[in-house]
Structure 1
Amino acid sequence: MCGIFGYVGTQAATEILLAGLEKLEYRGYDSAGIATVSSGNLECVRAKGRLRQLRAKLVGTNNPAQIGIGHTRWATHGKPEEHNAHPHTDQAMQIAVVQNGIIENYRELKEQLQHRGICFRSDTDTEVIPHLIAQLLQDQLSVKKSEEKILSMSGAWSGGMEFNQVKSSNNGYATSLLEVPEPVDRIFSSSSVNPFLEAVRQAVNILKGSFAIAVVCADYPNEVIIARQQAPLAIGFGQGEYFCASDIPALVPHTQVVLSLENGELARLTPLGVEVYNFAGVPLNKYPRTLSWNPVLIEKQGFKHFMLKEIHEQPRLVRASLDTYLNHDWYPTNSSEMPIKLGLPAGLLEDLEQIQIVACGSSWHAGLVGKYLLEQIAGIPTMVQYASEFRYAPPPLTANTLTIGVTQSGETADTLAALAMEQQRRSNQQSKFQLRLLGITNRTESSLAALTENIIDIHAGIEIGVAATKTYTAQLLAFYCLALDLSYRRQVLPLMRLETILNGLQQLPALMESVLEVQEDSIQKIADQFTDTQDVIFIGRGINFPVALEGALKL
């Protein structure tokens, strides 16, 4: 649950970085740090513990740097100690990197870098990245010097060696670190190639795993390079200043204009603008979007913490979703109308023989409730797959199957990977085996929405709390609406029974408000009574079994 925040612009960066990291505190962390560049010097400050410990180390410093990156770390590789905190730097303290995710081939990279004389100062997988970039940057600069020398020689010798001959002297390729071939056209293309950007580009092509990174370099004091592969990363556009963050809510206090990077993309941020490339180095035309989020939404608004605030938001959000998706003009004697308005194409839901749901965590629990609803209300056999396991043991292909991906953020790496694999498995199959994909998400601009245009937007608003509350409830409501829609289309339930369920759903907001208002004191007393309890067992049957699982997860 790490967090990334970066800045380049005209203001002092330190306080902006710290404030950005504070907006990411809800994700949980055990250490934090920032790296800034000023006057060709890289300064890196890290601290174990909370951001207040980091602030304490920065008291009394006057850092004029107008560029920097910051990170809050939740330990995966290496204990929660200061030497494992991000940012990590290369040996020369010229390059700093922050990373969210896991570098799967870090052991091999570390071993090869050590053979080149690199000394590691942490136990993390992330530290291989700055050392790798430093080596690749050194290679880039060496090649650039060779190019300049050859060009001067070819200019001095009339009828002498041609530059193209030099390009083909290694069979059209130059060898970079770790024997990774690189087309010479890219390295030798012209002096306009940015060595720092190119070194990062080469590095991300060597890395394996799921990651998002932000990089600064003392020799390139006006640039932040960022890259995304299976981990969220977004850019915020200001006036002469630019931001990056691992979660969009951290950008909202600064700007409403954002661009989410897609997998396999990197970007160069400077005070003059943003350039976006794919991992092959091809420039991309990307267009930011303007959010309609009110910055007040990411404040606690008088509640003790975000989770409590979001619990109390549930009645309003359920009411809004019901207004959006229920057809209030429908009644059993007017069956020409559809009772549910999900806006899904009829072909997606026609002649379904099976449904498979792919999700993780709380979304998986919502999927288990969804299985119950889809089978009991719509009469369709349904499987629920844990996304990370689905990738390694996919079930046999079944005909006329609807695949549902459930992810609050629309960015859950395992879920996206599982859906992409299913898309690949079902390509070039007979029509009855072709992929029918539906997404249930809270972010219509997310990677899930880019994967499929068939989306049920749960309309839960920004969720800051790590433990899902309102989004879990909204996902359940989405499954209810889908099950009722399918039931009506397939004529599974009597119309009067359908009306009874719809009327019950419309009572939910008032019932939820009553519980929150009337039972608050009782809930507090129960919590006090069990404060010292060591073990709790949640028991549920039928539709309440996944609810018990979700309760256990919350506690």
Structure 2
Amino acid sequence: MCGIVGYIGTQGAIEILVSGLEKLEYRGYDSAGVATIVEGEIHSVRAKGKLYNLRTKLEKETNISQIGIGHTRWATHGKPEEYNAHPHRDNKGRFAVVQNGIVENYQELKQELISKGHEFISDTDTEVIPHLIAEYYNPESNDPFMDAVNKAVTRLDGAFAIGVLCADFPDELIVARQSAPLTIGFGQGEFFCASDVTALVHHTNTVLSLDNGEIARLTPLGVEIYDFTGKRLRKNPRTLDWSPVTVEKQGYRHFMLKEIHEQPSVVRTCLEAYINPDWHSQNSDEENPITLNLKPEIYEDLEHIQIVACGTSWHASLVGKYLLEQIAQIPTFVQYASEYRYAPSPMMRNTITIGVTQSGETADTIAALEMERQRRSSCDRTYQARILGITNRPESTLGGMVDQVINTYAGIEIGVAATKTFVAQVIAFYILALDLAGRRKTITPSRMEEILKGLLQLPTQIEQIIHSEEPKIRDLAHQFPDTKDFIFLGRGINFPIALEGALKLKEISYIHAEGYPAGEMKHGPIALLDAHVPVVAIAMGGSVYEKVISNAQEAKARDARLIGVLPQNHHEDMFQDTLIVPEVDEILSPILAVIPLQLLSYYIASMRGLDVDQPRNLAKSVTVE
């Protein structure tokens, strides 16, 4: 949600902080601020609104401080006003704190601190942290700054990552993490911290992610890491394989458009990672062409699969359910992670639980998986947890808590509205379904070969769609300047694509849109239709093609404008507009059907002059409940 950055070293901190916040602006949108130490005093500058407003304020100042923290806010407690912006300070102005997360017991702590004479000026939960640190601060102790921060964080309930400055310690930056992401970057005589490595890759590719319950001291001499009990820890940094180029727009107007265009490469990379390059030369009756390298106990006596996810990842999981049931013949259940936490399914024997999250930090998904592990921990072997993660960030919180990760290899995604990470998650489900099908012998070798060959053709087919349909879609987008509602229809494996198409349009264009199973239109939603409500029908070739066409006819009879997503050579006169994709096996059609819907949403939002990459009220990684 919110984005935090920190720096200590030999350079001026302000520009590093602000440029880091610019890389994290997708995490917050309503206010921003920085704090530095200048001549033994905390100096803080905050601004309401976009980061541009903060930069404008800072340009009027001269600040050569070489230590600082910064924050871009996504409001949870308190309105988006400057007085609620981070950093927050104690009453004496000796401590400054930035936070990503939520302090769940802040009201209790606030009342305790007020009774001791502390005065609060914001509505936020974060403000209790600098006051709490000040309350515990004892200049006479052996390590007063670290001791005070450590005592304070042990009082906090919830998920949080914080960065802290103390005016009395101008050469120390302290950071701590509990269930919210925080990464430290290592430079030459300088150190960085951030909520996401996107803020770090311009400065270093050597990073270390803090784990839950860890606190670190950053000085110009190095980094010390402790757990919340005060025990010193030894951890090794890792080297990123990302370059600064991966977080630039590279000539595209928006990151979202760039990421739509990156999808052919993403699909190729993911397929190359998991499909044995020699599969076609092997004896297909004996060899599994998929190489997932999952532990044998994951597969043993497998009877059920349950999936927990949120948002776009939930839609990808619905496609996954179809694949796992139809290809691998395994009963599969998909639940919203936020609901599963409070109404879990009855425990089933020999069950894999899969958490799907592009960031690996989605709070509801992480909590659902942790709950599942705990409730199965005392069960016998057949009920014990087998937990997988599907994510774009194996180094994330998810990666550290599951038994194994299926990496989607999508590369960094900046646009808040997921595009390439959705496609990569769906590809991961194809790989898992085929892996299980090969082991369980639920499809014939010839059918396995058909699907694999079709998968390998998808990157080229996506490129074809972008080349042929993007200009048409760009023009089509201009025909909906005042549209207030859209309906998306799909059946079978493409019903989740109708949901995803509607979500994309809602997220970035602020047009109300709903996705429905096409056969359900006449059971209620058809009452919404008239000449002002466009209907997008996903009519891919296959077993339900004629059914979708029939359902679209019903919408046509109510004067709705029809837009068809159709395979080549399936032109239907009833559609006012058609978005054409290559002919493909029905089971592979979701990957192609979603591409024109992504482009349509993008160009409608762009035509309206909206902030495509940072839509209102949304954040890229939802790290709070």
TM-score by length of 2: 0.79
- 1:352 positional shift: 0.8
- Taking the aligned partners of 1:500 and 1:475, their CA distance within structure 2 comes to 21
The residue number in structure 1 matching 2:402 is 452
- Taking the aligned partners of 2:70 and 2:228, their CA distance within structure 1 comes to 23
Q: Which shows bigger deviation, 237-246 or 437-446?
A: 437-446
The residue number in structure 2 matching 1:426 is 376
- Taking the aligned partners of 1:241 and 1:547, their CA distance within structure 2 comes to 46
Q: Are 2:214 and 2:228, in contact at CA under 8 Å, matched by a contact in 1?
A: yes
Is 1:274 matched up with 2:223? yes
Aligned residues: 504
State the SS of the aligned residue for 1:7. Answer: strand
- Taking the aligned partners of 2:149 and 2:283, their CA distance within structure 1 comes to 65
The residue number in structure 1 matching 2:342 is 392
The residue number in structure 2 matching 1:550 is 500
The residue number in structure 1 matching 2:591 is none
- Taking the aligned partners of 2:152 and 2:487, their CA distance within structure 1 comes to 47
Which of 296, 321, 341 is residue 245 of structure 2 equivalent to?
A: 296
Q: Deviations over 1:463-514 (max 9, x none)?
A: 1112111111000000011111111211112222222222221221111001
The residue number in structure 2 matching 1:38 is 38
- 1:345 positional shift: 2.5
- 1:333 positional shift: 5.7
State the SS of the aligned residue for 1:395. Answer: coil
The residue number in structure 2 matching 1:223 is 172
Is 1:324 matched up with 2:273? yes
- 1:339 positional shift: 2.0
Is 1:209 matched up with 2:158? yes
Is 1:252 matched up with 2:181? no
The residue number in structure 2 matching 1:70 is 70
The residue number in structure 2 matching 1:478 is 428
**How do 1:71-86 residues align onto structure 2 when only pairs under 5 Å count?**
71-86=71-86
Q: Deviations over 1:339-377 (max 9, x none)?
A: 211122333113211001122221121111111111111
The residue number in structure 2 matching 1:436 is 386
Q: Which shows bigger deviation, 498-507 or 329-338?
A: 329-338
Return 5+ residue gaps in structure 2 as ranges: 506-625
The residue number in structure 1 matching 2:261 is 312
Which of 288, 301, 312 is residue 351 of structure 1 equivalent to?
A: 301
Q: Deviations over 1:275-316 (max 9, x none)?
A: 111111111111111112121111111111111111100001
Note the aligned Cα RMSD (angstroms).
1.5
State the SS of the aligned residue for 2:485. Answer: coil
**How do 1:41-440 residues align onto structure 2 when only pairs under 5 Å count?**
41-137=41-137, 140-141=138-139, 144=140, 193-331=142-280, 334-440=284-390
- 1:104 positional shift: 0.8
State the SS of the aligned residue for 1:112. Answer: helix
- 1:87 positional shift: 0.6
- Taking the aligned partners of 1:509 and 1:391, their CA distance within structure 2 comes to 37
Q: Which shows bigger deviation, 385-394 or 83-92?
A: 385-394
State the SS of the aligned residue for 1:35. Answer: strand
Which of 422, 444, 453 is residue 494 of structure 1 equivalent to?
A: 444
What letter is aligned with 1:197? M
- Taking the aligned partners of 1:102 and 1:28, their CA distance within structure 2 comes to 14
Identity of aligned residues (%): 64
- Taking the aligned partners of 1:490 and 1:512, their CA distance within structure 2 comes to 31
- 1:453 positional shift: 4.5
- Taking the aligned partners of 2:421 and 2:479, their CA distance within structure 1 comes to 28
Return 5+ residue gaps in structure 1 as ranges: 145-190
Q: Which shows bigger deviation, 538-547 or 370-379?
A: 538-547
- Taking the aligned partners of 1:426 and 1:532, their CA distance within structure 2 comes to 52
Q: Are 2:29 and 2:51, in contact at CA under 8 Å, matched by a contact in 1?
A: no
Q: Are 1:38 and 1:66, in contact at CA under 8 Å, matched by a contact in 2?
A: no
- 1:42 positional shift: 0.7
The residue number in structure 2 matching 1:538 is 488
What letter is aligned with 1:473? V
Q: Are 1:318 and 1:474, in contact at CA under 8 Å, matched by a contact in 2?
A: yes
Which of 449, 452, 457 is residue 507 of structure 1 equivalent to?
A: 457
Q: Which shows bigger deviation, 76-85 or 408-417?
A: 408-417
State the SS of the aligned residue for 1:338. Answer: coil
Q: Are 1:367 and 1:406, in contact at CA under 8 Å, matched by a contact in 2?
A: yes
State the SS of the aligned residue for 2:225. Answer: strand
- Taking the aligned partners of 1:387 and 1:279, their CA distance within structure 2 comes to 29
Q: Which shows bigger deviation, 211-220 or 490-499?
A: 490-499
- Taking the aligned partners of 2:211 and 2:283, their CA distance within structure 1 comes to 48
Which of 470, 484, 498 is residue 520 of structure 1 equivalent to?
A: 470
- Taking the aligned partners of 1:70 and 1:328, their CA distance within structure 2 comes to 46
State the SS of the aligned residue for 1:337. Answer: coil
- 1:122 positional shift: 0.9
TM-score by length of 1: 0.88
Q: Are 2:33 and 2:44, in contact at CA under 8 Å, matched by a contact in 1?
A: yes
Q: Which shows bigger deviation, 292-301 or 385-394?
A: 385-394
Q: Which shows bigger deviation, 265-274 or 427-436?
A: 427-436
Q: Deviations over 1:88-128 (max 9, x none)?
A: 11111111111111111111111221122222111111111
Q: Are 1:27 and 1:465, in contact at CA under 8 Å, matched by a contact in 2?
A: no
- Taking the aligned partners of 2:274 and 2:493, their CA distance within structure 1 comes to 23
State the SS of the aligned residue for 1:303. Answer: coil
Q: Are 2:5 and 2:17, in contact at CA under 8 Å, matched by a contact in 1?
A: yes
Q: Which shows bigger deviation, 438-447 or 194-203?
A: 438-447
Q: Are 2:202 and 2:243, in contact at CA under 8 Å, matched by a contact in 1?
A: no
- Taking the aligned partners of 1:334 and 1:515, their CA distance within structure 2 comes to 32
- Taking the aligned partners of 1:85 and 1:196, their CA distance within structure 2 comes to 24
- 1:26 positional shift: 2.5
What letter is aligned with 1:326? I
